[in-house]
Amino acid sequence: MPTPKERFQAVVENRPVDYPPVICPGGMMSATVIDVMNETGITLPAAHHDGELMARLAEAVQQRTGFDNFGIPFCMTVEAEAAGSEVDFGTLECEPKIVKERFPDNQSVIYEDINLLLTRGRVPAVIEAARKLSQWHPDIPVSLTLTGPISFAASLVDPLVFLKDLKKNPAASHKVVAYVNDFLIAFAKLAIGNGVDIVTFADPTATGEILGPKTFDEYVVRYLGEAVTAIHEAGAPTIVHICGDIKPVKHLLPKIGADVISTDAMLSLAELKKELPGIKTMGNLSTYLLDQEGAIDRITARTRTLVHQGINVIAPACGLSTTSPIENIKAFTDAVHQSVAETESIG
């Protein structure tokens, strides 16, 4: 049997696998549910700050949920904090959030040295966690999930002003997005050098319904595309997750060049595969379903369908609610892992 790391790599290289990896990449899509924290006593918000704790919590999550990866960090505010925005680190149940964006508009952005940003806030803790996880478990891939350039920029500059300027003042917008993107690329490279195997970008503010196709093409395709290329050069595969209704921008997704495209639950991945042959898909078991008590049978059935449809990587659609029962997540990963036994007994 291949190791989880080999299996993921096989998917990236279009080689056949015994079963698709079932992962939860971290960041916006973190599996740090309350059940795991209560069982292990390794808790948030403390584990957001400390590399050792972060690694131990990611390890506990992997062991108890059965995901085929480690996912770090556990929120989407690491980048904005390093770039100077004010963050509320949340509680055990509640993810960190931006209290206040550092700048009121693009014009007031202070461009700092990227290498300095890499030493700030929780960046060093994330790097340390990656190093530890890759040393403890060389067979299981570590996924670093970063906040995509549009969501990151809209966490650094007041979001409404930022969105307006995408249209109104493209020059200033490009400058800011290029800056945050440079930081994301540097962060990803540093992480790859410290044991990260997969880099995932989640850009929830860059949805089709928020930006529309023109703006999506001008900013998201361009900057995520650049980041994806840089990360490929550094030797790691990439996953790009787009939230919300992607209908208006679907045709643009292949241009980003990511190895795997992940979408929200409102879209049929089987259809997306038909419409965009050649792309590899990740997803998309409903986040809401995974959060419901007594949903195990439906979770198992729905997961089997995803596997049979040939979805390349199985994952929760838009991450997990922290209240999701551990039995649900276990049923989810089990359904994928057991699919191989079934196919073997049939064939």
Partner 1 sequence: MSKELILKKFTDAVVNGDEDLAVEAANEAIASNLDATEAIVDGLSKGMGIVGEYFESQEYFLPEVIVASEAFKAGVKILQPHIKVQQGTKPSKIVIGTVQGDTHDIGKNIVGIMLGAAGFEVIDVGRDVSPKAFVDKVKETNADLLGLSALMTTSMVNMKKVLALLNEEGVRGQVKVMIGGAAISQRYADEIGADGYSVDAVAAVRLAQKLVAVAA
Q: How far is CA 293 from CA 21, 33, 170, 299, 323, in A?
A: 25, 14, 47, 11, 10
Q: What are phi and psi of 314, to 5 degrees?
A: -95, 135
Candidate list 22, 44, 75, 98; residue touching partner 1; CB under 8 A: 98
Q: Is 212 in the site for partner 1 (CB under 8 A)?
A: yes
Q: Is 167 in the site for partner 1 (CB under 8 A)?
A: yes
Residue closer to partner 1, measured from CB, 186 or 266: 266
From 58-66, 148-156, 175-183, 272-280, give the range in contact with ligand B12 by CB under 6 A: 148-156
Q: Is 268 in the site for ligand B12 (CB under 6 A)?
A: no
Q: Is 97 in the site for partner 1 (CB under 8 A)?
A: yes
- Which SS3 state, helix, strand or coil, does residue 209 take? helix
Q: Is 97 in the site for ligand B12 (CB under 6 A)?
A: yes
Question: CA nearest 305: which of 325, 324, 285?
Answer: 285
- Which SS3 state, helix, strand or coil, does residue 237 take? coil
Candidate list 78, 211, 261, 282; residue touching partner 1; CB under 8 A: 211
The Cβ of residue 256 has, within 10 Å, a number of other Cβ atoms equal to: 22
Q: How far is CA 346 from CA 56, 198, 338, 339, 342, in A?
A: 39, 33, 13, 11, 6
Candidate list 210, 220, 285, 311; residue touching ligand B12; CB under 6 A: 210
Candidate list 235, 288, 309, 341; residue touching partner 1; CB under 8 A: 288
From 122-130, 139-147, 209-217, 223-231, give the range in contact with partner 1 by CB under 8 A: 209-217
Rounded to an integer, what distance in angstroms lies between the CA atom of residue 89 and that of residue 80? 12
From 34-42, 174-182, 186-194, 199-207, give the range in contact with ligand B12 by CB under 6 A: 199-207
Cis peptide before 73 (omega within 30 of 0): yes
Contact residues toward partner 1 (CB under 8 A) are 93-94, 97-99, 159-160, 163-164, 166-168, 205, 209-212, 215, 248, 288, 291, 321-323
